[in-house]
Amino acid sequence: MLLHNNQVRLTPRERDILLRLTGSDPHYVTTRAQLKEWAARHLEALPGDAREIREIKAVLQHYLPL
C-alpha cells in the first residue's frame, strides 16, 4: 500500500487478498476516507465467517491506516 497525504494506492496483490477475504474488490479506493468506508462496510465479522477469517478481519481493521 502506498500512501501520500490523503491518497491511497493498493497494490494488485493487496486488492486480490482483500477481494478473496471479503468478496469485494476495493479497486475504487483512492483516498483514506474511501478506505475507511470500505473497511467499515466489508471488514465487519459476519456470523458465518470462520474463526480464522474473523481474526484476519480484526487484524486488518486494526492495522489499516485509517
What integer pLDDT is reported at residue 46 of this predicted model? Answer: 87
Q: How far apart are CA 21 and CA 10, in angstroms?
A: 15
Per-residue pLDDT of the chain (66 residues; tens, 9 = 90+): 999 999 999 999 999 999 998 899 999 999 999 999 999 999 988 899 999 989 999 998 888 887
Sign of the Cα torsion 65, 39, 12, 9 reads: negative
Whether the Cβ atoms of residue 36 and residue 10 lie closer than 8 Å to each other: no
The pTM assigned to this predicted structure is 0.80
The Cα 11–Cα 19 span in angstroms is 12
How many domains does the chain contain in total?
1
Domain that holds residue 49: 2-63
